[in-house]
Amino acid sequence: MHQTVLRKKQFLTQTQCDELNAWVREGIECKWLDFGACKKAGWSYKHRLTTRPYGGRFEYPKIVHDVFGQITEYLGLHDLKKSEFGGGRDGVVVSCTFPKGDVYEHYDPMEGSKHVLRCNVMTQAADSGAKLYIDNEHVDVEVGELHCYLPSRASHYVTEVEGQTPRILWMFGYKCDKERFDQLLAVEA
């Protein structure tokens, strides 16, 4: 297991994943998700859509808040504030990466003096490709698996999506100290 990633397989049920994916499909139609960013094209990358700068266009449905609550309860994060950095809405960012899309290698910025703890769940996998790397180590996440890390401390990227099925990722963010995250990792070890 990667030393900087906290993981819980089968965190969400297939029914929860299906409901979240249905919202993403509707969100694409309604422009709740729109162009993502890449190094070459800035905020005009059509192969990955996101809610990141578009949070003012929609309200999340109950299931999104329920899943955030489920993560908060599971990890005991009731005392942490939700992340406000990086757009999205209510501490949540969604991305849908289409065939030929990827995520370039990068670090996320800090949120003031705090790290952003990303608690991510992939709700739909690509047919192939779309491999997540954190600190140059492949992290083979499954649909419905919770994986959490501090993206300001770990470089991360996703390889190109292959096949016909887009990769859908839900990112739930908290403001967090490194020491607190280290405590979470120690409990899960």
Which DSSP string do the residues of 4-35 spell out, in sequence order? Answer: T-EEETT-S-HHHHHHHHHHHHHHHHHTSSEE
Please tell me the predicted confidence (pLDDT) of residue 44.
Answer: 73
Lowest mean pLDDT among 71-75, 113-117, 171-175, 185-189: 185-189
Residues with Cβ within 8 Å of residue 163, at least 6 apart in sequence? 99, 126, 127, 128, 129
What confidence tens digit (pLDDT) does each residue in 136-155 have? 999 999 999 999 999 999 99
Distance CA 178, CA 165 (A): 35
Please tell me the predicted confidence (pLDDT) of residue 41.
Answer: 67
Q: For a pLDDT cut of 70, what percent of the chain falls above it?
A: 96
Please tell me the predicted confidence (pLDDT) of residue 180.
Answer: 95
- Read off the pTM: 0.95
pLDDT tier for residue 1 given thresholds of 50, 70 and 90? very low
pLDDT higher than threshold 90 for residue 187:
no
Please tell me the predicted confidence (pLDDT) of residue 84.
Answer: 83
Distance CA 177, CA 189 (A): 19
Please tell me the predicted confidence (pLDDT) of residue 189.
Answer: 62
Please tell me the predicted confidence (pLDDT) of residue 85.
Answer: 74
> How distant, in Å, are the alpha carbons of 67, 162, 182 from that of 129?
27, 5, 30
Q: Which structure tokens are listed for 25?
A: 């499909």
Please tell me the predicted confidence (pLDDT) of residue 184.
Answer: 94
Q: Which structure tokens are listed for 169?
A: 């990722």
Residues with Cβ within 8 Å of residue 86, at least 6 apart in sequence? 52, 93, 108, 109, 116, 173
Q: Average pLDDT, stretch 122-134?
A: 98
Q: Average pLDDT, stretch 86-97?
A: 89
101 or 36, which is more confident: 101
| Class of residue 15 by CB neighbours under 10 A (exposed 0-12, middle 13-18, buried 19+) | exposed
